Chains A and B, each alone.
Chain A
Amino acid sequence: MNKLWALKKSIWVYHVCSGSCNNCDIEILDCLTPKFDLERFGILLVGSVRHADVILATGSITRKALPRIKRVYEQMPKPKLVIAVGGCACSGGIFKNGYNIVGPYDKIIPVTAYIPGCPPKPEAIIDGVVKVINSL
Chain B
Amino acid sequence: MNRKTIIPIGPYHPLLEEPEFFELEVEGEKVIDIDVHIGYNHRSIEKIAESKTFDQMVFLVERICGICSTSHPIANCNAVEDLVGIEIPERARYIRSIVGELERIHSHLLWAGLAGHFIGYNTLWMWVWKYREPILEIFEAVTGNRNHYAMMIPGGVRRDIKEEDIPVVLKGMDEAERKIEMVTKAVLDDPVLAARLKGVGVLSREDAINYCAVGPTARASGIPIDVRRDEPYAAYGLVNWEIIIREEGDVFAKVVVRLLECFESIKIIRQCLKRLRTVKGEIAAKVKEIPPGEGIGRHEAPRGEVFHYVKSDGSNRPVRLKVRAPTYVNLPTCKATVPGESIADAAIILAAIDPCYCCTERIVTINKRTGKRELNGQDLLRLSRKKTEKICKNMGKRNV
The answer to whether the Cβ of A68 comes within 8 Å of any Cβ in the partner chain is yes
Known contacts A64-B40, A100-B43; decide if A29 and B17 are in contact (CB<8 Å). Answer: yes
Which A residue's beta carbon lies closest to that of B113? A33
Which residues on the B side are within 8 Å of A23 (C-beta)?
66-67, 69, 147-148
> Binary interface profile of A, 4-37, with partner B (CB < 8 Å = 1, else 0)?
0000000000011111111111110110011100
Bound Cα distance from A59 to B11, whole angstroms? 15
Bound Cα distance from A115 to B351, whole angstroms? 29
Which residues on the B side are within 8 Å of A119 (C-beta)?
66, 146-148
Chain B positions 33-73 with a Cβ under 8 Å from a chain A Cβ: 39-45, 47-48, 51, 59-60, 63-67, 69
Q: Is A100 in contact with B42, judged by CB distance below 8 angstroms?
A: yes
Chain B nearest CB, measured from A95 CB (Å): 5
The answer to whether the Cβ of A126 comes within 8 Å of any Cβ in the partner chain is no
Given A33, A49, A95, A118, which contacts B126 in the complex, CB threshold below 8 Å? Answer: A33
Q: Is A98 in contact with B148, judged by CB distance below 8 angstroms?
A: no
Chain A nearest CB, measured from B19 CB (Å): 6
Given A17, A35, A60, A72, which contacts B18 in the complex, CB threshold below 8 Å? Answer: A17
Q: Is B11 in contact with A65, judged by CB distance below 8 angstroms?
A: yes
Q: Is B147 in contact with A98, judged by CB distance below 8 angstroms?
A: no
Known contacts A35-B133, A64-B40; decide if A118 and B125 are in contact (CB<8 Å). Answer: no
The answer to whether the Cβ of B130 comes within 8 Å of any Cβ in the partner chain is yes
Q: Is B147 in contact with A20, judged by CB distance below 8 angstroms?
A: no
Given A15, A60, A68, which contacts B11 in the complex, CB threshold below 8 Å? Answer: A68
Chain A nearest CB, measured from B234 CB (Å): 23
Which B residue's beta carbon lies closest to that of A19? B43
Known contacts A64-B42, A65-B19, A97-B51; decide if A33 and B130 are in contact (CB<8 Å). Answer: yes
Chain A nearest CB, measured from B127 CB (Å): 8
Chain B nearest CB, measured from A29 CB (Å): 7
Residue among A25, A65, A100 with max Cβ neighbours from chain B (10 Å): A100
Q: Is A68 in contact with B12, judged by CB distance below 8 angstroms?
A: yes
Q: Is B66 in contact with A22, judged by CB distance below 8 angstroms?
A: yes
Q: Is A62 in contact with B41, judged by CB distance below 8 angstroms?
A: yes
Which residues on the B side are within 8 Å of A34 (C-beta)?
126, 129-130
The answer to whether the Cβ of A1 comes within 8 Å of any Cβ in the partner chain is no
The answer to whether the Cβ of A121 comes within 8 Å of any Cβ in the partner chain is yes
Chain A nearest CB, measured from B184 CB (Å): 19
Q: Is B17 in contact with A100, judged by CB distance below 8 angstroms?
A: no
Q: Is A68 in contact with B40, judged by CB distance below 8 angstroms?
A: yes
Chain A positions 27-76 with a Cβ under 8 Å from a chain B Cβ: 27, 29-30, 33-35, 46-49, 59-60, 62, 64-65, 68, 72
Which A residue's beta carbon lies closest to that of B56? A94
Bound Cα distance from A106 to B110, whole angstroms? 31
Which residues on the B side are within 8 Å of A68 (C-beta)?
11-12, 19, 40
> Binary interface profile of A, 106-135, with partner B (CB < 8 Å = 1, else 0)?
000000000000110100000000000000
Bound Cα distance from A95 to B358, whole angstroms? 13
> Binary interface profile of B, 353-365, with partner A (CB < 8 Å = 1, else 0)?
0001110000000
Which residues on the B side are within 8 Å of A62 (C-beta)?
40-43
Bound Cα distance from A121 to B66, whole angstroms? 13
Which residues on the B side are within 8 Å of A21 (C-beta)?
63-66, 69, 358
Bound Cα distance from A27 to B357, whole angstroms? 17
Which residues on the B side are within 8 Å of A64 (C-beta)?
39-40, 42, 374-375
Q: Is A25 in contact with B41, judged by CB distance below 8 angstroms?
A: no
11 examples of A-B residue contacts, CB within 8 angstroms: A17-B17, A17-B18, A18-B19, A30-B133, A33-B130, A47-B13, A64-B375, A65-B41, A68-B19, A95-B63, A98-B44
Q: Chain A: residues with CB nearer than 8 A to chain B?
A: 15-27, 29-30, 33-35, 46-49, 59-60, 62, 64-65, 68, 72, 93-95, 97-101, 118-119, 121
8 closest cross-chain pairs (CB), A and B: A23-B66, A47-B14, A98-B44, A33-B129, A22-B66, A34-B130, A22-B358, A21-B66
Q: Chain B: residues with CB nearer than 8 A to chain A?
A: 11-14, 17-19, 39-45, 47-48, 51, 59-60, 63-67, 69, 110, 113, 125-126, 129-130, 133, 146-148, 356-358, 374-375
